Chain A
Amino acid sequence: MTLDSQAEAAAPVPIGRRWGRKQIILTLSRVWAWVFLVGLIAFFTISVSITSGGVVNFLSLRNSQNILMAITPVLLMGLGQTFVIISAGIDLSVGWVMGLASVVSALVIRDLFAGGMAQEIAIIIGFAAGLLAAAVPGVLNGLIIARLKVPPFIVTLGMSFIARGVAFLLSGGNVVGNQPPGVRSFGNEAMLYVVSGEGGGIYFLQRPDVTGEALRQLDRVFQWPVVVTAIAVAIAAFVLHRMRFGRHTYAIGGNREAAVRAGVPVDRHTVMLYTLSALTAGLAGVLHTARFSGGSSIAGDPLLLSSIAAVVIGGVSLFGGYGSVMGTVIGALIIAVLITGLVMLNVEPFWQFIVVGIVVILAVLIDQARDLIIGRMESE
């Protein structure tokens, strides 16, 4: 056994040093998005303040709440997408699935309310119907991918068109209106109300009875869609990072064959992943209905690519195996801060697309640089 003891004594020195450097690079590649986000906020705070002569504050309560409201649908779609992409899949159907859920929920609420049902019950049933309508294409996606072995890109692309067609058929191509007032309240009222200026205060759950000039000083903090999204984020993070479902998701993305051989129920898990993705899109859809008091089939389409961009900026590898819920949250925040900041700087809106595009490519370049450097270290 002398050979082995020699080998063990000789090995740790160079290998240990290499790991140290590797860990540093891994850590750096993980935190860059945070640094970038903080830098962006600082940049916009200063530049907005300068260009407006100190009148407009980028970091104001109202603006921060606007940013949060703006990212809720993108973030919700991004949550499901995070799971799917970590498993080395992709879900291109979520945009139109969101629209489908929005239309179905609005139709059900409208008809039940018109039929004399109390609006609270009509809303609950309507939202449940919207989620159910979203789950159907999700389950189908999963079954076709898992059982028939059709690539996720193709299946979800096809499902996207199908969901689009169904949503248009159901809505007749129009916005589904005639919603009871409770719908709009849920989509816009908030957990906290802050009235600034004299006689102001903070009100919990109850909207203060203010009128006139004071109404302008009223800020809604944590509007219900934001609260719902925050809860969804917390649950998603818990499931992905603490529960067996999350562990299996990473394993399938890291080495599908190994997961199969280890006895992970890969097919069943795949069906659950695409169902989950459709459900988070569906949640975005019913929240859209609530926010705008109407169902719109086209609500999600423009957001699909933003949600994938958020996931990619957040460090989820499109090859699977890597990523986190927090990363996607930061990715979504970066996009929202960029867009809001550019608007407040009076930059022509078309520039938003160009800037987001650059950030997406930059994010992937950073990931690749990390892999390249680590690969070089391994071949040393």
Chain B
Amino acid sequence: MAVEPILSVKNIVKRFGGLTAVNRVSMDLYPGEVVGLVGDNAAGKSTLIKCISGVYQKDEGEIYFMGRRVEYSRPIEAREAGIETIYQDLALAGNLNVGANIFLGREVLKRSLCGLVRTLDDAHMQAESKKVLDELEIHIPDYRQQIETLSGGQRQAVAIARALYWQARVMIMDEPTNNLGVVEQRKVLGLIRKLREQGVPVILITHTLPDVFAVTDRIVVLHRGRKVAEKKTSETDSQEIVQYMVGALDDTRPAA
């Protein structure tokens, strides 16, 4: 590819005491692609992601974002730069409605009572929320509904919409289809494709191989903290990926 990667991690190492959770892992993410990050439990997927999003401090290695070397000491710094991580818990307030969640912490205010005080401009926030969810082709019957009355897939969509609205350049999604019904799973995969269409690259972390083959362009496999394979999705199949995941295959090991 002639294009520069938007996000590039090089030789990341993260140790917890004597355990090396991530061992010299490098990967690139190009504009408009979806990369699947797969691996068994404790393969180091989450740790790697947390090093990128500023939750953990890496012990070695470099991260380049949009051509510049970056160091994030707190998650908020990565988010403000445009690296948005959507965790399984989605970080939504279930008792607030869609607009209130998308604008939480960044509420739009208007002058009220003859300009004496600034109050919430809920109509504006609702209209903006509707716009961004419409772009994702997500239909919410009533925008005044509290988040907890929405389905799992709709909540996922709200979390994605929030990231999109606040100009995420890269989206990292941690097991987005967990705990969802089949219909909802398909919707979320549809959302990931939408993000790609809009030019927002996605790192998709998942256990669910069918999801990986449904939406990704490339697959990175981790095993015990090391990257053991990087394949174009069109040039591999789930059997091969499983063999990498369980350690039966390893591209970094010289062939016997």
| Residues of chain A having any CB pair with chain B under 8 Å | 1, 3-4, 6-8, 10-12, 15-16, 19, 22, 238, 242-244, 247, 250-251, 253-255, 257-259, 261-264, 321-322, 374
A11 to B180, CA, bound (A): 13
A321 to B96, CA, bound (A): 9
On whether A3 and B95 interact (CB within 8 A), knowing A242-B120, A244-B107, the answer reads no
Q: Would you call B190 and A262 a contact (CB within 8 A)?
A: no
User: Which residues of B sit under 8 angstroms from A264, Cβ to Cβ?
Assistant: 104-105
Q: Would you call A251 and B104 a contact (CB within 8 A)?
A: yes
Our pick among B104, B112, B141, B145 for the contact of A258 (Cβ within 8 Å) is B104
Q: Would you call A262 and B105 a contact (CB within 8 A)?
A: yes
Q: Would you call B107 and A254 a contact (CB within 8 A)?
A: no
A11 to B100, CA, bound (A): 25
Q: How far is the CB of A7 from chain B (nearest CB, A)?
A: 4
Q: Would you call A7 and B105 a contact (CB within 8 A)?
A: no
Q: How far is the CB of B118 from chain A (nearest CB, A)?
A: 7
Q: Would you call B120 and A247 a contact (CB within 8 A)?
A: yes
Binary interface encoding of chain B residues 91-129 relative to chain A, with 1 for a CB under 8 A from any of its CBs, else 0: 111111000110011110100100001111000000000
Q: Would you call B96 and A254 a contact (CB within 8 A)?
A: yes
Interface pairs A-B: 9 shortest CB-CB? A262-B105, A4-B190, A254-B95, A263-B105, A254-B93, A321-B95, A262-B104, A258-B91, A255-B93
Binary interface encoding of chain B residues 183-227 relative to chain A, with 1 for a CB under 8 A from any of its CBs, else 0: 100110110010000000000000000000000000000000000
Q: How far is the CB of B124 from chain A (nearest CB, A)?
A: 14
Q: Would you call B104 and A259 a contact (CB within 8 A)?
A: yes
Q: Would you call A258 and B107 a contact (CB within 8 A)?
A: no
On whether A11 and B119 interact (CB within 8 A), knowing A242-B112, A254-B93, the answer reads no
Q: Would you call B186 and A3 a contact (CB within 8 A)?
A: yes
A6 to B187, CA, bound (A): 10
On whether A244 and B92 interact (CB within 8 A), knowing A3-B186, A7-B186, A8-B137, the answer reads no
Q: Would you call B104 and A15 a contact (CB within 8 A)?
A: no
Within 8 A of A (CB), among B166-193: 183, 186-187, 189-190, 193
Within 8 A of A (CB), among B58-104: 75-76, 89, 91-96, 100-101, 104
Say if the beta carbon of B232 comes within 8 Å of chain A. Answer: no
Say if the beta carbon of B149 comes within 8 Å of chain A. Answer: yes
Q: Would you call B183 and A7 a contact (CB within 8 A)?
A: yes
Q: Which chain B residue has the least Cβ–Cβ distance from A258?
A: B91
Q: How far is the CB of B235 from chain A (nearest CB, A)?
A: 23
Q: Would you call A259 and B105 a contact (CB within 8 A)?
A: yes
User: Which residues of B sit under 8 angstroms from A238, Cβ to Cβ?
Assistant: 119
Q: Which chain B residue has the least Cβ–Cβ distance from A265?
A: B105
Q: Which chain B residue has the least Cβ–Cβ distance from A243?
A: B119
Extra contacts, 6 of them, besides A4-B186, A255-B95 (Cβ < 8 A), are A7-B186, A11-B187, A244-B107, A250-B93, A262-B91, A263-B105
Q: Would you call A1 and B93 a contact (CB within 8 A)?
A: no
Q: Would you call B95 and A11 a contact (CB within 8 A)?
A: no
Our pick among B92, B107, B137, B141 for the contact of A247 (Cβ within 8 Å) is B107
Our pick among B76, B89, B118, B149 for the contact of A19 (Cβ within 8 Å) is B149
Q: Would you call A259 and B141 a contact (CB within 8 A)?
A: no
User: Which residues of A sit under 8 angstroms from B75, Cβ to Cβ?
Assistant: 261
Q: Would you call A242 and B91 a contact (CB within 8 A)?
A: no
Q: How far is the CB of B121 from chain A (nearest CB, A)?
A: 10
Q: How far is the CB of B119 from chain A (nearest CB, A)?
A: 4
User: Which residues of B sit under 8 angstroms from A257, Cβ to Cβ?
Assistant: 89, 91
User: Which residues of B sit under 8 angstroms from A12, Cβ to Cβ?
Assistant: 139, 141
Q: How far is the CB of A250 from chain B (nearest CB, A)?
A: 6
Q: Would you call A251 and B119 a contact (CB within 8 A)?
A: no
A238 to B96, CA, bound (A): 17
User: Which residues of B sit under 8 angstroms from A242, Cβ to Cβ?
Assistant: 112, 119-120
Complex A-B: 17 CB contacts under 8 Å: A3-B190, A4-B187, A4-B193, A11-B183, A19-B149, A242-B119, A243-B118, A244-B107, A247-B96, A250-B100, A251-B100, A253-B95, A255-B92, A255-B95, A258-B104, A259-B105, A321-B93
On whether A250 and B96 interact (CB within 8 A), knowing A8-B139, A261-B91, A263-B106, the answer reads yes
On whether A258 and B120 interact (CB within 8 A), knowing A4-B187, A11-B183, the answer reads no
Q: Would you call B94 and A255 a contact (CB within 8 A)?
A: yes
Q: Would you call A251 and B141 a contact (CB within 8 A)?
A: no
Q: Would you call B92 and A258 a contact (CB within 8 A)?
A: yes
Q: Would you call A254 and B193 a contact (CB within 8 A)?
A: no
Q: How far is the CB of B181 from chain A (nearest CB, A)?
A: 10
Q: Which chain A residue has the least Cβ–Cβ distance from B113?
A: A238
Q: Which chain B residue has the least Cβ–Cβ distance from A4?
A: B190
Say if the beta carbon of B151 comes within 8 Å of chain A. Answer: yes
Our pick among B93, B137, B183 for the contact of A251 (Cβ within 8 Å) is B93
User: Which residues of A sit under 8 angstroms from B145, Cβ to Cβ?
Assistant: 19
Q: How far is the CB of A27 from chain B (nearest CB, A)?
A: 12
A242 to B118, CA, bound (A): 9
Our pick among A3, A4, A15, A259 for the contact of B93 (Cβ within 8 Å) is A259
A259 to B117, CA, bound (A): 23
On whether A322 and B95 interact (CB within 8 A), knowing A11-B183, A262-B105, the answer reads yes
User: Which residues of A sit under 8 angstroms from B193, Cβ to Cβ?
Assistant: 1, 4
Q: Which has the most chain B C-beta neighbours within 10 Å: A16, A244, A255?
A: A255
Our pick among A8, A263, A321 for the contact of B187 (Cβ within 8 Å) is A8
A243 to B76, CA, bound (A): 24
User: Which residues of B sit under 8 angstroms from A3, Cβ to Cβ?
Assistant: 186, 189-190
A22 to B189, CA, bound (A): 28
Q: Would you call B149 and A22 a contact (CB within 8 A)?
A: yes
